A and B are shown apart, each in its own frame.
Chain A
Amino acid sequence: MSSIDTGAPHDPHAHVHLGVFYTGVGSQFIWSDPGLGDHQSIETYLEIARLLERGLFDAFFLGEGLRVRENRGQVLELDVAGRPDAITQLSALAAATDRIGLVATQNTTYNYPADLARRLASLDLLSDGRAGWNIVTTDNAWTGANFRHGGWLEHERRYERATQFVEAAKALWGSWSADAIAESAEAKSWAAAGAFPEVVRRSDLVNLRATATLPASRQGRPVLFQAGDSDGGRELAATHADVVFSANTTFEKAVAYAADLRARLARHGRGADSLRILPGAAVVLGDTEAEAQEKAEWIRNEQLSAPRAIAFLEQYWGSDLSAYDPHGPLPDIEPTDAELDPSRGTISIADRTGKLDRIAAWRTLAAEKNLSILGLYREVSPRERSFVGTPAQIADLWVHYVRARAVDGFNLTPYLLPSSLTDVVDKLVPELQERGAYRTAYQGSTLREHLDLPPI
């Protein structure tokens, strides 16, 4: 244990913080399961939010993608699609919940800073200090085709824009003094003189002159989440974020990530505890380890289905492969040499080039292991983001993670609704509580307090 360097000392009293990352779309939802119900209805969202309050979670966190995913020019048919605007939906949930943090993923490339800052501040006040913003960027013109300026922002500058955007939002949120609003209706004016300073930003990436229409909420401002794992994303996190929603779930990666992030924090003059690290993860629970493993395999096979195997290869081959048997060998035709298009959603930078090399490697792998199309798809799809085991096993593991300060908790991605979450609330949370690593009641009322972050 002593050799583990996360940039923060071992903490025997550390708690696990839990949130749910509800994408609302994507292949992880097993829509064929009758339990999924209507993923789109407000009642489903309310049911989840109230379940999470019962489980004393920190946050309910909605995803966003600003274009419906496609496969070769048509909307992708195989995955759950269609979701609400996050701030609208969370404002509706704010009226029907008391404690749960409400986090909206919102894009800095295709929003106006003053407009988005105002909508987030409104959610923060309406929820009495429970709002969060997951800051994301987009750099593809394919998504930009839905917006006024199209694909205007070059890849290298998207975090520059995001940083200026966040700084403008913070300036607006902090522009009213704490005693700006009159305490009594007898006052001479609604607000003190000078209570509405203008915020002006003039650059080639952010151009505005705006006056905040709202004061700070009980938590000061919305809690800022950041998810990008690139260097630019990590720098934005170390400069401005309160929480990182990372992809580094294995212990070794989590340790390395925590150490890197905390070194960056120090460079920006911030303390190791000013930023919470909550990687995304799925949890599969069973009464025995074997049962959990069996369930995990079933889930994985449902998610990595035969029709999706064909669609996956079509994205790489760039052509119609519907005539091929997913249980048969890889396509005998050559792929087009066109670059991958972004229409299936996010493609990491590493995957943008070298498509033909990757396909050649797959052919070799399939030949060596005698894999079908489906077999190859399952072989090359990542596996590491799931925690599979009994509630006691996972509780032990998570306690190890948080005490080593590799993470501060997890953002859970549901795949069956609501059972994959009720399992966590009813079985895993009590195990964590027994280990002294989880709250037994909410101690505060704001999201910032739930996360144990220092006050603004």
Chain B
Amino acid sequence: MTESLLLAVDLDGDGAHPAAWRFSGRPPGSVLTGAALRAAVGAASGFVLASFEDSPLPAGGTGPDQAGRLEAGTRAAFAATLAGDLGLAPVLNATTTEPFHLATQLASLDHASHGRAAWIVDGLSDLDVLATVGAEPLGGAAQRQEVADVIRTARLLWDSWQDDAVIKDVASGRYLDSGRVHHIDFSGATFSVKGPLITPRPPQGQIVVIARDHLRVDEHADIVLVAAADPEAVAARAQQTSSILTFADVEVILDLPGRPAAERLAELDDFTPWPSTGRLRHVGSVTGLLDLLSELRGVDGVRFLPAVQALDLPLLAEQVVPARGRVLPGRTLRERLGLPRPASRFASTTA
């Protein structure tokens, strides 16, 4: 008996393979339109969660696949008013942004989507990325501390308005109760933030925080996203994360009628080889993919990275999600992931 999994999918660009744009059946520039995003979000409607990979740099490296890319937070926000209950997880990079803006943007995404926001935390440290904000690399432990501090700040800010802060008491003329809106007075290694947030508490209380495995900030996350090249390594990492959810990243290229996956991959790789990202990669049939999912021990979910979105996402949605997907009842992403809604840590301070 195989267990069901929480299934997520990445919707970045034309797909995870660098040459995906050549096989998407549309002019290259159309990936940068609202229409393309609308179609991608529609195709992903059966998943629990859609992610939007990102970086401050152009997509596709520096070779022939170097391509444009819309900022992930705006893509997720655009998807917020589209129908459906898909969770929305933009990648926002902690090292090239203001923690206060980042927390505001995510809280706003949660309001606009009625509780469907998540955040894939990135902590990029390459020189070209940092140069976009004139920053220098921190290195090692300081880098990890910086990412952790940004997450802690965001979490404090999301709690800074208690759920019942707005009172609208006409008799006294008070719109809100100042005892329920709090300074956070966060002081970290490289920055401090006073608070409160400029946005009221998000519907989920806390946005779902998804941390990449290599950042090693599990204690600040709700989900850890594991990139490991074989099921044993995934299982080993999952064993260390028993207190939070574990999702494994799986890159997929699937058999199409008359077009075996291996042939498709060879054709793509003829243009640009698909570099190893350290993730699991499945090249083959849907059945083979279902077998791979059965082999994964200790994970709660999987995030698929389709090689060519236009070709592989429909198969995932039509054949893998119904066979193996799990969705818990509920309207918010937390409910659908089985995560509790945390009370504000400031709530107990109110008399």
Contact = CB atoms under 8 A, between A and B. Distances in A.
A83 B197 CA distance: 9
A114 B132 contact: yes
Interface stretch (B175-183, B252-260, B296-304): B175-183
A82 B63 CA distance: 45
Given A87-B74, A88-B108, A306 B173 contact: yes
Contacts, number: 238
Contacts of B32: 125, 214-215
Contacts of B194: 67, 145-146
B77 interface: yes
Given A91-B78, A92-B112, A147 B29 contact: no
A41 B28 CA distance: 36
A36 to B, nearest CB: 9
Interface string A102-136: 00000000111011001101110111100000000
A125 B30 CA distance: 11
Interface string B40-78: 000000000000000011111001111111110111011
Given A112-B133, A126-B70, A213-B68, A76 B97 contact: no
A430 B22 CA distance: 51
Interface string A181-206: 11111111111000110000000000
B173 A215 contact: no
Interface string B5-35: 0000000000000000111111111001110
A355 B195 CA distance: 28
A293 B318 CA distance: 63
A75 B181 contact: yes
A168 to B, nearest CB: 11
Contacts of A94: 34, 78
Interface-centre pick from B81, B100, B105 (highest chain A CB count, 10 A) = B81
A1 to B, nearest CB: 46
Interface stretch (B164-172, B215-223, B235-243, B320-328): B164-172
Interface in B106-157: 107-109, 111-114, 128, 131-134
Nearest to B90: A88
A191 B67 contact: yes
A127 B34 CA distance: 7
A77 B175 CA distance: 6
A257 to B, nearest CB: 30
A328 interface: no
Given A147-B98, A185-B28, A190 B64 contact: yes
A196 to B, nearest CB: 6
Interface-centre pick from B60, B104, B114, B161 (highest chain A CB count, 10 A) = B104
Tell me whether chain A's interface is mostly helix, strand or loop, or mixed.
loop
Contacts of A210: 56, 131-132
Contacts of B78: 91-92, 94-95, 126
A361 interface: no
Interface stretch (B185-193, B206-214, B284-292, B335-343): B185-193
B133 to A, nearest CB: 4
A240 interface: no
A215 B68 contact: yes
Contacts of A67: 194, 198
Contacts of B58: 196, 211-213
Interface string A66-109: 11100000111111111111011101111110000000000000
B174 A307 contact: yes
Interface string A207-233: 111111111000000000000000000
Nearest to A149: B191
Given A65-B198, A89-B77, A111-B98, A308 B173 contact: yes
B173 A305 contact: yes
Nearest to B60: A190
B199 interface: yes
Interface in A143-193: 145-148, 150, 181-191
A42 interface: yes
B266 interface: no
A214 B68 contact: yes
B175 A115 contact: no
A178 to B, nearest CB: 11
Contacts of B193: 145-147
Taking residues whose C-beta sits less than 8 angstroms from the other chain, chain A's interface range is 35 or more
Interface string A283-312: 000000000000000000000011110000
Contacts of B28: 181-185, 187, 190-191
A190 B131 contact: no
B175 A88 contact: no
A85 B181 CA distance: 18
Contact of B198 (A68, A96, A190): A68
A42 B81 contact: yes
A85 B105 contact: yes
A425 interface: no
Contact of A128 (B25, B34, B60, B175): B34
Nearest to A76: B178
Nearest to B102: A85
B231 interface: no
Contacts of A93: 81
Contact of B101 (A111, A183, A211): A111
B261 interface: no
A234 B11 CA distance: 43
Contacts of B108: 84-85, 88-89
Contacts of B172: 307
A78 B64 contact: no
Contact of A190 (B65, B112, B168): B65
Nearest to A93: B81
B66 A123 contact: no
A189 B132 contact: no
A309 to B, nearest CB: 10
Nearest to B100: A146
Contact of B77 (A91, A145, A186, A190): A91
A214 B54 CA distance: 13
A306 B172 CA distance: 10
Contacts of A207: 134
B74 A208 contact: no
A32 B215 CA distance: 48
Contacts of B86: none
A111 B128 CA distance: 19
A185 B29 CA distance: 9
Interface string A42-80: 100010000000000000000011111000001111111
Interface of B: 21-29, 32-34, 37-38, 56-60, 63-71, 73-75, 77-82, 96-101, 104-105, 107-109, 111-114, 128, 131-134, 161, 165-166, 168, 170, 172-178, 181, 190-200
Interface of A: 31-32, 40-42, 46, 64-68, 74-85, 87-89, 91-96, 110-112, 114-115, 118-119, 121-123, 125-128, 145-148, 150, 181-191, 195-196, 207-215, 305-308
14 contacts: A46-B81, A74-B178, A81-B176, A82-B176, A83-B199, A84-B111, A85-B104, A92-B80, A145-B194, A184-B27, A189-B64, A190-B28, A196-B58, A211-B57
Given A82-B200, A182-B29, 6 more contacts: A68-B181, A112-B132, A115-B132, A186-B22, A189-B65, A208-B131
